[in-house]
Amino acid sequence: LLTALALVLGIGVAELLLPVFNAMSQKSLSLFNLENLNSIGILFGILIVTGLMAGSYPAIILSRFSPVAVFKGDLSVGGRNRFTRGMVLVQYVLSVSLIIITLVIVQQLDFMRHKDTGFATDAVVVVDMPHENTDNVYELYKQQILKNDNIVTATGSDRAFTSGKSMRGTKNDKGEWVVVRLIRVDEDYLKTLDIDLLAGRNISSEMATDATLAVLVNEAYVKKLNWTNEQALGQQLLDLDDNQEPPVIVGVVRDFHIDSMHREIEPLVLHNNPDYHRMYRVLVRIRPSEMPQTVDFLKDTWETLVPDQPFKYAFLDEELDKQYKSEEQWSQIIGYASFFAILISCLGLLGLAALAVTRRTKEIGIRKVLGASAPNIISLIAREFLILVAIANLIAWPLSYGIASQWLQNFAYRIDLSVWVFVAAGVLVVLVALFTVSSQAIRAAFTNPVKSLRYE
């Protein structure tokens, strides 16, 4: 009966929490699928097996007691409860591990969001250009929006962040081809995104040779070729897929992240695009204080120039945050799992503490008669469980360290695992366990010893 009630309660809780899980994981799961009755059969199987296991164990234990001992209250409930202790130990190992992993994910997310990307992301709006007649639309749109004083600057690109054409570039000193990323931009790209120019000059529309022959490269490109920034200037970038005259490096920019922190910064080439060919994205830096009005202006200007195309825009910082959506979802899911794991562990520990108090009722009574104080009794009861939780910590720390370290290997730029994460998780679980056990320990400490020694 209790197992059936627990199953009904569990189904109810799962049904309540399922929408939350679906929202976090971007899934559309349902608890019961009428087209698939296997889940219902599995639930009934779990009900029967759990009911038999839950009923058999206490029945076997209670069958060993004599009626006289039962009426006298002289019971040794569960002996040392090794099996129960083992299960509680496993629960706390999982709890500590989940807490540590959650903290590591949160730390890594915070690190990625606050790490210097090498370019400005705040107050930058990204407007998608139509793929047809892009050349004319981009030039006209940029000219029109720059008339607004709330727009600081604007630029264009043929690629979104996290993308870029791969090509073969200049050979290194070993004669090996260096694979680079290629993005076509205009001369305002560095200014709009506040990208530092380390050597040389920016591409310019005022220089005729820059129309097709000028490129900028990043530090990663220079290092890959074993050059200094100054040595890179004037070098030709050979692309075997193009029969045109190879462009020349006119400037070196500081490394910036066009990809997520999962990947290292790759060699990058910014190619001048004076004809605005395939400018599929416009990046507009806006004064933060006038953001809503200026976005409306961008929309109105768009609808005037391209009335047959929908106005699509996004904020650059939000676009970049989407790269870590999966990690954010897992952080929430594991966080909830940690909470429920601790809750279940506390329930198990509470039951174990109640059994321990019952088993040691006479011992506690004798200690109180001999002068033991309430704090002494509380310490006596709590000590053995705190040792159990401490053992769980010692097991969980290396386990979670291995899992967290393996997960962090997915990121080229990652945090270092710090000791305080493990200590914080351990202390939290110890405090929760102490609070859980204290209720039973306090009850035992203030119980009249006459009740436990009435038959002695």
Average pLDDT over residues 29-55: 63
For the stretch 300-311, pLDDT in tens is: 999 998 888 889
DSSP string, 316-377: HHHHHHGGGHHHHHHHHHHHHHHHHHHHHHHHHHHHHHHHHHHHTHHHHHHHHHTT--HHHH
Bridge partners of residue 283, in order along the sequence: 126, 155
Asked if residue 2 has pLDDT above 70, the reply is: no
Share of the chain above pLDDT 90, in %: 22
Q: Which of 314-328, 363-377, 412-426 has the lowest mean pLDDT?
A: 363-377
Q: Which of 75-79, 116-120, 181-185, 377-381 has the lowest mean pLDDT?
A: 75-79
- Residue with the larger pLDDT of the pair 105 and 337: 105
Q: Pairing mode, if any, of strands 124-128 and 313-315? A: antiparallel
Average pLDDT over residues 320-340: 79
CB of 365 closer than 8 Å to CB of 452: yes
CB of 352 closer than 8 Å to CB of 88: yes
- Residue with the larger pLDDT of the pair 4 and 260: 260
- Please tell me which of 54-63, 81-90, 274-283, 411-420 the model is most confident about, judged by mean pLDDT: 411-420
Could you tell me the residue ranges of all domains in the chain?
1-64, 79-115+324-456, 131-308
CB of 151 closer than 8 Å to CB of 135: no
For the stretch 200-216, pLDDT in tens is: 999 888 887 777 788 89
Secondary element (H or E) of residue 252: strand 248-253
3-state secondary structure of 216: strand
Q: Which of 71-75, 164-168, 236-240, 243-247 has the lowest mean pLDDT?
A: 71-75
Tokens of 177: 């081809």
Asked if residue 403 has pLDDT above 50, the reply is: yes
Tokens of 124: 């930058």
User: How far apart are the C-alpha atoms of 313 and 299, rounded to whole Å?
Assistant: 9
Average pLDDT over residues 155-174: 69
Furthest-apart CA atoms within the chain: distance in Å: 108
Asked if residue 125 has pLDDT above 90, the reply is: yes
CB of 195 closer than 8 Å to CB of 254: yes
Give the model's confidence band at 241: pLDDT under 50 very low, under 70 low, under 90 confident, else very high: very low
User: How far apart are the C-alpha atoms of 79 and 185, rounded to whole Å?
Assistant: 76
Average pLDDT over residues 341-369: 73
3-state secondary structure of 3: helix
What pLDDT score does 240 carry? Answer: 40
What pLDDT score does 196 carry? Answer: 94
Cα(first)–Cα(last) distance of the chain, in Å? 38
What pLDDT score does 422 carry? Answer: 94
Asked if residue 351 has pLDDT above 90, the reply is: no
Give the model's confidence band at 434: pLDDT under 50 very low, under 70 low, under 90 confident, else very high: confident
Average pLDDT over residues 152-170: 74
For the stretch 14-40, pLDDT in tens is: 666 666 656 655 666 666 555 555 666
Average pLDDT over residues 355-359: 70
The average confidence (pLDDT) of the chain is: 78
Q: Which of 193-197, 295-299, 336-340 has the lowest mean pLDDT?
A: 336-340
Return contacts of 384-387, CB within 8 angstroms, 24+ apart: 384/356, 385/349, 385/352, 385/353, 385/356, 385/433, 385/437, 386/430, 386/433, 386/434, 386/437
Average pLDDT over residues 120-134: 81
Give the model's confidence band at 62: pLDDT under 50 very low, under 70 low, under 90 confident, else very high: low
Bridge partners of residue 281, in order along the sequence: 128, 157
Q: Pairing mode, if any, of strands 268-272 and 214-218? A: antiparallel
Tokens of 203: 């591409």
User: How far apart are the C-alpha atoms of 429 and 399, rounded to whole Å?
Assistant: 16
What pLDDT score does 11 carry? Answer: 67
